[in-house]
Amino acid sequence: MTRRIALAASAGICALGLVLTGCGSAGGGDKDALVNSLMEELTTNGSVTTEQGDCVRGKLNELSVDELTALNNDSTGDAAVTPELEEKITGMLMECFTAG
């Protein structure tokens, strides 16, 4: 069962990673707009449960505007996310997909 949970979490994180790096268009500086932009496709395509989406939204809200802007810029191809930020986000997302 632990293996199934780990695989499900891994698949969820991979799907979320594709969403986060494939969306974007919010301007920098407005935290709510950045979070909403990063969450839009995730919540509309049904790739995660409502509970997981709420968790991810909460985790994104913990990031600074600069970090959210970096994520958004990565998704639009303007700049790459630093390894440190990528590691931080992966850790945060693991909490959402392995909780419960």
Using only C-alpha atoms, what is the Rg of the chain? Answer: 13
Q: Report the alpha-carbon distance of residue 93 to residue 100 in Å, rounded.
A: 13
Q: Report the alpha-carbon distance of residue 100 to residue 88 in Å, rounded.
A: 21
For 40-96, write each residue's pLDDT tens digit: 867 777 778 888 899 999 999 999 999 998 888 876 666 778 899 999 988 988 898
For 25-37, write each residue's pLDDT tens digit: 444 458 999 999 8
**What values do phi and psi take at 99, rounded to 5?**
-70, 150
For the full predicted model, state whether its pTM sits above 0.85. Answer: no
Q: Report the alpha-carbon distance of residue 51 to residue 86 in Å, rounded.
A: 22
pLDDT of residue 81: 84
Residue position matching structure tokens 């970096």: 70
